[in-house]
A and B are shown apart, each in its own frame.
Chain A
Amino acid sequence: MRYLTDRKRATGMGSAKTGTEHFWAMKVSSVALLVLVPLFVFTFGPMLGEPHEAVVAYFARPFPAIVAALTILVTFKHFKDGVQVLIEDYVHGLNQKVAIILMVCLSYAAAATGLFAIARIAL
């Protein structure tokens, strides 16, 4: 054992071996959301509590519809990757895998539902 170098001991020992890709995915989605979140807050915000016809007419316009669709898509991608780290830190064993799979499915389902709704309003 003592003849092994630290490098040799560490190689391949990472938790999932894809930490760099995960870090980069979080970084890209966070920078995208830095632009999308303010746009969404100030387009969606004023519409909350408005009558149905006004909401449907507003989100039939290209800019609010595209901002809403992109925000929903990137938010749930960012959430999917982020909640995975939360689960990995606090839940272990089979429960960890079940929790991650449930959250991944929930994220995709919510994103698909949101995109469907926006498409139906806009088109």
Chain B
Amino acid sequence: MADVNRGNRPLSPHLTIYRPQLTSMTSIVTRITGNALLISALLVVWWFLAAATSPAYFATADAVLTSWFGDLVMTLSLWGLWYHTLAGVRHLIWDNAVGLDLDTAYKLGYAVIGGSVLLTLLTIAVIV
């Protein structure tokens, strides 16, 4: 009924006392990668703007993006992009109320981690 035990239910455990699991960690990394990709997205827009402006400006932007630090940022972003993409596919699957049992959720988690590393290496092999 409507008023049974209202406000006197057990609290779910807080983040600080939760033992990390594959499911929770792959979830938070989805959020981190998705939002951190703003940095490389802005860098790419800047690169296009520089290319549209002048050869000299393009040389500057291209030098930043292909410096050792630019390579580091773009390589991490490439992994983040594939991770977020695969994790997004996992959400599209879950949206159908499919694969929500622990066993399948763990398998999908390992697939997202393994797949993102594999796709990153594959992409680097193809485009570099």
| Contact indicator A42/B51 (Cβ below 8 Å) | no
Cα separation A27 to B44 with both chains bound (whole Å): 24
Decide: A42 near B45, CB < 8 A? Known: A34-B88, A52-B59, A86-B31. no
Interface string of B42-60 (1 = CB under 8 A from A): 1011011101100100110
| Contact indicator B81/A37 (Cβ below 8 Å) | yes
A100 beta carbon closer than 8 Å to chain B: no
Total cross-chain contacts (CB, 8 A)? 92
A96 beta carbon closer than 8 Å to chain B: no
A contact residues, range:
35 or more
The minimal Cβ–Cβ distance linking B32 to chain A, given in whole angstroms, is: 10
| Contact indicator A121/B51 (Cβ below 8 Å) | yes
| Chain B positions near chain A (C-beta within 8 angstroms) | 2-3, 31, 34-35, 37-38, 41-42, 44-45, 47-49, 51-52, 55, 58-59, 62, 65-66, 74, 78, 81, 85, 88-89, 91-92, 95, 123, 126-127
24 contacts between A and B (CB under 8 A): A2-B3, A4-B2, A5-B2, A6-B2, A30-B88, A33-B88, A34-B89, A37-B85, A42-B127, A45-B127, A48-B62, A48-B65, A48-B74, A52-B62, A53-B55, A56-B51, A79-B41, A82-B35, A86-B35, A114-B48, A114-B49, A117-B52, A121-B48, A121-B52
